[in-house]
Amino acid sequence: MSEIKENALMEKIVSLCKRRGFVFPSSEIYGGFNGFWDYGPYGCRMKRAIENLWWHEMVETRDNIEGLDSTIICHPTVWKASGHLDQFSDLMTDCKDCKSRHRVDQMEDPTTCPNCGSKNLTEPREFNLMMKTYVGPVFDNEHTAYLRAETCQPIFVDFQQVRNSARQKLPFGIAQIGKAFRNEINPRNFTFRSREFTQMEMEFFCDGEQGMEWFEYWKEQRINYYKNKLKFTDDFFRIYEHEKLAHYAKAAIDIEVKFPFGWGELEGVHHRGTWDISQHSQFSGTDLQYIDHDNKRKVMPTVIETSVGLDRTMLALLGKAYDEDTAATQKEGMEEDVRIVLHLPPLVAPIQLAVLPLSKKLNENAEKLYKDMNRYFRCEYDVTGSIGKRYRRQDEIGTPLCLTFDFESAADNAVTVRDRDTMQQERVSIDNLRNYVEDFINR
């Protein structure tokens, strides 16, 4: 691994993401739109892969977690009950000289503009982060609605509906993946702080007596997921325990990882007490308590939340994976002096297997093999350029395995498989290829 300085690393990743179509500014031909990002062909493949992995781990492999796909705009009172309309704000000050705007809690000296050094600042004011819209034909206060600022609120609102229809008893959870919107004052660090982003949240409902046990359980589950599935090693991963908690919370940790710009929060695991369900019971006038028929009592469910940003997961993975390898080029006899490579976990690499025929003459058989493998893995077929150039194109997007179909392949029913990280090549029988790739991806 080469040592790439944090600033340089971020620039390199932004540039690679644009060049290879992972992520680029939204509406770029109009000058871009601050805090909004589009995911291109490789980007959305990778994003979808992370999303599917999370869903598989959190929902599909568990009997006690149900899925939900709620609307982005919901009844405005939801955001009153959740506290977002009154409290989801940052204290901001404007510089009257250079017109820049700053979050007071992030200023080293709240009396001096960090942009131009002027002392001519406005009184700090609260700016709410909820994004507003109007529903219906009249644009007035009565018709104001909000884009959801987090995906979990509709989970709380639909708690009883989901529980009844899925015939779940406490303890059980509800998970949702979807867009969230925040009018962040200073979007920055590429996709890390965006105005539109995707969250993957799971709310686990239990009896308060077991709250701390479930909190510990989910903390461990999530740590294992990062270590075993996304391959975050200890030097990229740490836990921050909150000392100051929200008045209703009992415990909270952040899972922090090393992003291309430094350490930052990737996921929160929070014990939220009975706050969420109590609030929505009170504001909606619907009793959302759980009836424990066995013990003939009502329970206000306690919530344990796991909440992670999909865009941040992808940014952290790209930062961890990026490398420039000089020794590699000599090994493979290439002319250029550096090989750019993404050491992505094979489970979430945008392309898992590239099929590269050694010559266009081999197209027919090679393409057949590609189509077959593409049913099981994310594959790409590439016939253009020298084999070395094609390897480099795949290294740069993090493809863990490349296979070359050569003039022997039809006769010996085998292909050469090259490992992105070791660059070792191995002859693999086509009959065994699917198992070989599957084992490699899941190891």
Task: Note the residues at the interface with ligand GAP (CB under 6 A).
Answer: 150, 152, 182, 184, 193-194, 197, 199, 201, 265-268, 307-309, 311-312
Q: State the CB neighbour count (10 A cutoff) for residue 412.
A: 11
Nearer to ligand GAP, 78 or 266 (CB): 266
Minimum CB separation of residue 157 from ligand GAP in Å reads: 13
Among 201, 197, 223, 433, which residue's Cα sits nearest to residue 304? 201
DSSP labels for 101-154? EEEGGG-SSTTS-TTT----BPPPEEEE-PEEEE-SS--SGGGEEEE-S-SHHH
What minimum distance in Å lies between the beta carbon of 201 and ligand GAP? 6
Least distance to ligand GAP, CB of residue 105, Å: 15
Task: Determine contact, residues 23/191, Cβ cutoff 8 Å.
Answer: yes
C-beta closer to ligand GAP: residue 167 or 244: 244
Q: How far is the CB of 129 from ligand GAP (least distance, A)?
A: 9
Least distance between ligand GAP and beta carbon 390 (Å): 35
Angle among Cα 398, 54, 354 to the nearest 5 degrees reads: 25
Give the residue with the Cβ less far from ligand GAP, 191 or 416: 191
| Smallest distance, ligand GAP to C-beta of residue 168, A | 21
Q: What angle do CA 296, 299, 302 make, to 5 degrees?
A: 155
The CA distances from residue 55 to 46, 165, 177, 271, 383, in Å, are 14, 20, 8, 21, 35
User: Which of these, 260, 238, 207, 202, lies nearest to 57 by C-alpha position?
Assistant: 202
CB of 190 to ligand GAP, least distance (A): 10
Complex with ligand GAP: residue 307 or 365, whichever CB lies closer: 307
Nearer to ligand GAP, 83 or 208 (CB): 83
- C-beta of 150 vs 382, nearer to ligand GAP: 150
Nearest approach, Cβ of 266 to ligand GAP (angstroms)?
Answer: 5
Tokens 């709410």 belong to which residue? 128
Provide the 3-class DSSP secondary structure of residue 90: strand
CA 317 to chain centre: 9
> Which tokens sit at 323?
């490398």
Q: Closer to ligand GAP by CB, 81 or 341: give it.
A: 81
- Which is closer to ligand GAP, CB of 187 or CB of 346? 187
* Residue closest to ligand GAP when measured from CB atoms: 309
Could you give the C-alpha distances from 231 to 223, 235, 301, 352, 392, in angstroms and in order?
11, 11, 34, 16, 23
